[in-house]
Amino acid sequence: MKKFLIIMLFVCSFALITNAQGNQTRPKVAPTPTPTPTPKPETVDNSKGTTQVAYAPKDPVAKEVLAVFDKIIIGIRNVNVDAVTNGYWNSPQLTLYNYNGTVTRGWEQMRKNREASFAETKDVVLDARDVRVQMMGKDGAVVMYMWKLSQTFRDKPETSTGRTTLVFRRVGKEWKVIQVHVSPDNPDKSRIPASEEPKQ
């Protein structure tokens, strides 16, 4: 009888220990977080130039604006009048403040100017960098960028750099440039008013 009780006590103790071990909560191991990659500027590179996007909102509307901008830049690189002018608002109210200090008003005049200059232009290489898209509500946007342009115009090589601001507006279902302001890095000093001349 004593042996039986000892055996029963041993069996019950073993069962309790085993059950307790089975009910122990194992510590939860948190999954190792996947590191978030650092965003890099979007760059398109080819023999006719590069485009580097520094900032653009992630919403699809901003991407639509940037797509129109890209078509204009590619049009310039390929000296393609249609590709460039199709990105602009076909209106007499279109305004372009040009890098040489002149002002072009209206789509028709802009088109004529492009046809005349492109007919004498070749070997274009255009780099667009620090491209930034800023949405202005649901129907407006501004694209700013810095550029370096080299080309052959009237059989003479040219190189220039500067900054450009394009104002976009949604016209119907399409985004169009309605205003342009181009600022060269080295403007013609004869065109700079004394009040705006850099201080020595």
Q: Where are the domains of the chain?
A: 42-186
List pLDDT tens digits, range 162-196: 999 999 999 999 999 999 999 999 877 766 666 56
pLDDT for 61-105, tens place per residue?
Answer: 999 999 999 999 999 999 999 999 999 999 999 999 998 888 999
Place of tokens 């009048």: 81
Q: What is the pLDDT of residue 1?
A: 55
Note the pLDDT of residue 93.
98
Lookup: tokens for 166: 């394009």
- The answer to whether 127 touches 74, Cβ cutoff 8 Å, is no
42-186: CATH architecture:
Roll (3.10)
Q: Which pLDDT tens digit goes with each residue over 27-46? A: 555 565 555 444 444 444 45
Query: Based on the number of CB atoms within 10 Å of its own CB, is 70 exposed (0-12), middle (13-18) or buried (19 or more)?
Result: middle
Q: List, edge to edge, every strand of the sheet that includes 174-184.
A: 42-46, 49-55, 121-135, 140-153, 156-171, 174-184, 95-97, 103-105
